[in-house]
Amino acid sequence: MTATRDEWEQAKVIENHLDDYDQEVFIRRKITESKHFYLYKEAKARNLGRD
């Protein structure tokens, strides 16, 4: 899950450094964001990481 968070953060940084709007970069960020939140919700639903 930390890997997806790092990937999402990196995608946000790349998107912020672009001078013009690039739909592919926007889509990649949204995909990584969706992956992260999916894993987060699954971990929360299964009570993972609460030792």
For 8-35, write each residue's pLDDT tens digit: 899 889 888 888 878 988 999 999 999 9
Three-state DSSP at 16 gives helix
pLDDT in tens, 33-46: 999 999 999 999 99
What's the pTM?
0.69
What does the alpha-carbon distance between residue 45 and residue 21 come to, in Å, rounded to a whole number? 36
The encoded tokens of residue 43 equal 């971990």
What does the alpha-carbon distance between residue 11 and residue 36 come to, in Å, rounded to a whole number? 12
